[in-house]
Amino acid sequence: MAEAPQKPLLRVVMCSPRGFCAGVVRAIESVERALAIYGAPVYVRHEIVHNRYVVESLKAKGAIFVEDLAEVPDDGAPVIFSAHGVPRSIPEEAAKRGLFALDATCPLVTKVHREAEIHFRRGREIVLIGHAGHPEVVGTMGQLPAGAITLVQSLADVERFVPRDDGNLAYVTQTTLSVEDTGTMVEALKARFPNIVGPHKEDICYATTNRQAAVKRVAPIVDAMIVVGAPNSSNSQRLKEVAERAGCPRAILVQRGADIDWGFFDGVTSIGVTAGASAPEVLVEEVLGAFADRYALEIETVSAAEEDMFFPLPRPLREEQAAE
Ligand code: SF4
């Protein structure tokens, strides 16, 4: 019998940390816990986290995803707000209708909401560095009356920005931005408005920072970088950009093992692998499995940080848990 041809060798460098962050774990557990306590259906406003696999798995367990509170019936079923946060009008509307709302907004996003509120109370005009249309940006801007926050997305926006009073300004940022780009925009804001106040560093969260730091280390030493994550996941998109900028000749976002465009990896002898904060490790394993079908893998890990962040579940779920 003829021997099977030997698979080509592929060096695989795993980025650490990668994948789920504490805010995503909390959000997913909130839905699972609510399903276990109250039974199906549990309504979830917006994708609980930006990952189709996660959303489909929760749908299979009885979660119903809606974009509008109007789609939630007044029958006592819980409605959960996603990790990205919501404008203030949403919990207000839920309270007015007597809906049983559970807020799975990541505590690090809530922290940005509180910062913005404090600046507003102190009479400051607020600049938000972020991406238009992202639910986190919609949620942060929706904490305050229209006009209180101006969104800037680029250096050009910073240059164009005309404040009402340039001596009374503050800035906040989206949590999932590129550390480097945001640093540059903050510098530009400070150069134009030396008295602008802001957070100690910026509001980019620990998970975004650590995942980008790991990619920066791995990108220059591999032929291609794979980011397991969804196209609508801001932090996954940033990881791909960071890899490209850190000198990786090819970087690609992959959602599932079956989606891999093998032509992209022609001639590649080493790959780096990371995952966005909303991508489960099971999908990383699936992607590695697809590579293992074609290559003999030599796997190593490069670590940029240790993580032990944990956020407790929203209070009503914690209390139910304690009462059991
Ligand atoms: S990426 Fe950061 S801000 Fe977003 S859910 Fe995770 S920990 Fe929270």
Confidence of residue 117 (pLDDT cuts 50, 70, 90): very high
CA contacts within 13 A on the Cβ side of 259: 15
Nearest ligand 1 atom to alpha carbon 309: 7
CA of 116 to the centre of ligand 1 (A): 18
Catalytic entry in 115, 125, 136, 286: 136
Q: At residue 73, does pLDDT exceed 70? A: yes
- For residue 41, whether the previous peptide bond is cis, meaning omega lies within 30 degrees of 0, is yes
Q: What is the pLDDT of residues 5-31, one digit of tens each?
A: 799 999 999 999 999 999 999 999 999
218, two tokens? 């791995």
Q: Would the CB of 30 count as within 6 Å of ligand 1?
A: no
Q: At residue 323, does pLDDT exceed 90? A: no
Q: What is the pLDDT of residues 146-191, one digit of tens each?
A: 999 999 999 999 999 999 999 999 999 999 999 999 999 999 999 9
* Sheet-wide strand order for 169-173: 149-152, 125-129, 169-173
Q: Would the CB of 205 count as within 6 Å of ligand 1?
A: yes
Nearest-angstrom CA–CA distance, 253 and 178: 16
Q: Which residue's alpha carbon is at the smallest distance from atom 7 of ligand 1? A: 23
- Among 51, 106, 140, the mutation site with the greatest number of ligand 1 atoms within 8 A of its Cβ is 106
- The rounded mean pLDDT for the chain is 96
Nearest-angstrom CA–CA distance, 177 and 133: 14
pLDDT score at 1: 63
pLDDT score at 103: 97
Q: Would the CB of 234 count as within 6 Å of ligand 1?
A: no
Q: Is the pTM higher than 0.85?
A: yes
Q: Would the CB of 140 count as within 6 Å of ligand 1?
A: no
| 136 catalytic per annotation | yes
CA of 262 to the centre of ligand 1 (A): 31
Q: Could you give the 3-state DSSP secondary structure of residue 122?
A: coil
CA of 22 to the centre of ligand 1 (A): 7
CA of 205 to the centre of ligand 1 (A): 6
Nearest ligand 1 atom to alpha carbon 26: 5
Q: Would the CB of 177 count as within 6 Å of ligand 1?
A: no
Q: What is the pLDDT of residues 265-289, one digit of tens each?
A: 999 999 999 999 999 999 999 999 9
Q: Would the CB of 176 count as within 6 Å of ligand 1?
A: yes
Alpha carbon separation from 115 to 42, 127, 172, 183, 264 (Å, rounded) = 31, 12, 8, 18, 43
Q: At residue 92, does pLDDT exceed 70? A: yes
- Among 110, 137, 176, the mutation site with the greatest number of ligand 1 atoms within 8 A of its Cβ is 176
Q: Which residue's alpha carbon is at the smallest distance from atom 2 of ligand 1? A: 205
Q: Would the CB of 23 count as within 6 Å of ligand 1?
A: yes
125, two tokens? 């005009």
Q: At residue 106, does pLDDT exceed 80? A: yes
End-to-end CA distance of the chain: 62
CA contacts within 13 A on the Cβ side of 83: 28
CA of 113 to the centre of ligand 1 (A): 14
Q: At residue 116, does pLDDT exceed 90? A: yes
Confidence of residue 290 (pLDDT cuts 50, 70, 90): very high
CA of 175 to the centre of ligand 1 (A): 7
The answer to whether the CB of 50 falls within 8 A of the CB of 83 is: no
Q: At residue 52, does pLDDT exceed 90? A: yes
Q: Residue 103 contacts by C-beta under 8 Å, 6 or more apart in sequence?
A: 80, 81, 86, 91, 314
